[in-house]
Structure 1
Amino acid sequence: METIRVIIIDEQPLFREGIRATLQRMGNVEIVGESTDPMEILDLIKTSEAEVALIDAGLTTTDPLEIARLARQHAPRMAIIILTPSEDEERLFQSIKVGAAAYYTRNISPDELMEAVQKVSQGEYLIKDDVLARPQVASRVLKSFREMTVEEEEPEPKETYSPLSSREVEILDYIARGNSNKEIAKSLKISDQTVKNHITSILKKLSVSDRTAAVVHALQHGWIKIKMPDS
């Protein structure tokens, strides 16, 4: 079992101790750093080679979303888990934009936390279906990423290989525009079951659990570019 290197960025000593004790139960986790000082955190991000960073969304010593952004910039393979005091749609939206792999309230159970750390360390994207199913959040996320793909005149190099077929990309485009399975089937003149089969394949290839996460994940990796809908 490969060791998972983890950074803990949390201001509350008792909660931090709980995280540490929980992750140590996994047997394959090494806590490689704990800090709330901005300069120390940046140094940990750059030098620790951690696979996972747990970030308290309630940090007062620095901006937690800026820390997440810097982590994605300096250690793009490091998975970010945001732990928030309460579910907040604006914070969720911003967390997704900066590339967080998971977003949980701080009442997450020890078993859920251990499972999340294990999965994100393997590249899975865990923004949950019940969260992204909120229409306002999903529409804002998708609109934001569509605008980013249109506005970036000189985008940074991204991963160009796509594991998706051209038909799967086409279906993701319809999903991003808010179409249901039935509407996609009608537009593409295929059966509802064929659409479901394609979506199942997409979710499996991208290791995500829902349609919106699939679109966001593909956009983040530069595999697809969604055109803005005609005004």
Structure 2
Amino acid sequence: MIRLLIADDHAMVRRGLQVFLATQPDIEMVGEAANGEETLERVVHLKPDVVLMDLNMPVLNGIDTTARLKKEQPHIKVIVLTSFVDYDHVLPAIRAGARGYLLKDIEPEELVAAIRRVFQGMVELHPDAAGLLMTHVTLPEGAEASSGPGRQEEAVQELGKLTRREQEVLQLIASGMNNREISEALYITEKTVKTHVSHLLDKLGVADRTQAAIYALKHGIV
């Protein structure tokens, strides 16, 4: 059962999402919040697995709330559900720790499928969001993304550090597979997959699977 909390400052949006998602047999609606501060307070008691997060909220916006959640409740997976798909929203949201970035015009069935996949450990990105990320490597806040010859040469050197198997694992991470699915695809144990993931994150200098997926998209590994 997927425990879900909705964070959005529009009551009609929350109600519409609840009406549909409550019909799903594997999703339990545990609560809602109208701003970031409420979200942070309620996740402590309601213990959701996934939070649907609006970005434009009062008191504390969705990006800052996501960053706080990642620090304070790292097991909770955040899916941004917004009307914005531009550089100033997409990259900060992913940097903050969001595992998904979707637009509010998404079909209900597609939203349910995305929630299930993120719950399983996959990354879900709207095509326009993925397109933006393909042109920018995720960097620490305040750093400038570079796609010039020097950066490309550096990327080639980084990828050259990966073993053939690590490159295969990176491709599958970027395609949205979790560790269990990767182990089945490559006929290796999940423990071995975890070891490969740990090694490739270290070699590429990225913090987590989301950044590894972005890196792979950026450099055409998928």
TM (normalized to structure 2)?
0.65
Q: Does 1:142 align with 2:120?
A: no
Give 2:202's aligned residue. Answer: 224
Task: Report the Cα distance in structure 2 between the residues aligned to 1:35 and 1:26, rounded to whole angstroms.
Answer: 20
Q: 1:76 aligns with which of 74, 77, 83?
A: 74
Q: Which has the larger radius of gyration?
A: 1
Q: Does 1:177 align with 2:175?
A: no
Give 1:111's aligned residue. Answer: 109
Contact 1:142–1:176, Cα closer than 8 Å, also in 2: no
2:41 counterpart SS class = helix
Give 1:49's aligned residue. Answer: 47
Shift of 1:199: 4.6
2:80 counterpart SS class = strand
Shift of 1:11: 1.4
Task: Report the Cα distance in structure 2 between the residues aligned to 1:200 and 1:225, rounded to whole angstroms.
Answer: 14
Q: Specify whether residues 201 and 16 from structure 1 end up closer, same or farther in structure 2 by C-alpha distance, changes over 3 A only.
A: same
Q: Specify whether residues 176 and 75 from structure 1 end up closer, same or farther in structure 2 by C-alpha distance, changes over 3 A only.
A: farther
Q: Does 1:204 align with 2:201?
A: no
Contact 1:9–1:54, Cα closer than 8 Å, also in 2: yes
Q: Let me know the Cα RMSD of the aligned residues.
A: 3.6
Q: Specify whether residues 129 and 104 from structure 1 end up closer, same or farther in structure 2 by C-alpha distance, changes over 3 A only.
A: closer
Task: Report the Cα distance in structure 2 between the residues aligned to 1:129 and 1:226, rounded to whole angstroms.
Answer: 24
Contact 1:54–1:83, Cα closer than 8 Å, also in 2: yes
1:53 counterpart SS class = strand
Q: Specify whether residues 94 and 222 from structure 1 end up closer, same or farther in structure 2 by C-alpha distance, changes over 3 A only.
A: farther
Percentage identity across aligned positions? 22
1:33 counterpart SS class = strand
Q: Specify whether residues 35 and 46 from structure 1 end up closer, same or farther in structure 2 by C-alpha distance, changes over 3 A only.
A: same
1:141 counterpart SS class = coil
Matches within 5 A, 1:60-71: 60-71=58-69
After superposition, the C-alpha distances for 1:67-113 in whole angstroms (9 at most, x for unaligned) are 11111112111110111113112100001100100001111110111
Contact 1:46–1:74, Cα closer than 8 Å, also in 2: no
Contact 2:10–2:34, Cα closer than 8 Å, also in 1: no
After TM superposition, which residue ranges in structure 1, 4 or more long, deviate above 6 angstroms? 218-222
Q: 2:9 aligns with which of 8, 11, 14?
A: 11
Q: Specify whether residues 178 and 57 from structure 1 end up closer, same or farther in structure 2 by C-alpha distance, changes over 3 A only.
A: farther
1:142 counterpart SS class = coil
One-letter amino acid matched to 1:64: G
Q: Unmatched 5+ residue regions in structure 2?
A: 144-151, 178-195, 206-222
Q: Specify whether residues 219 and 94 from structure 1 end up closer, same or farther in structure 2 by C-alpha distance, changes over 3 A only.
A: farther
TM (normalized to structure 1)?
0.63
Task: Report the Cα distance in structure 2 between the residues aligned to 1:175 and 1:71, rounded to whole angstroms.
Answer: 35
One-letter amino acid matched to 1:203: Q
2:21 counterpart SS class = helix
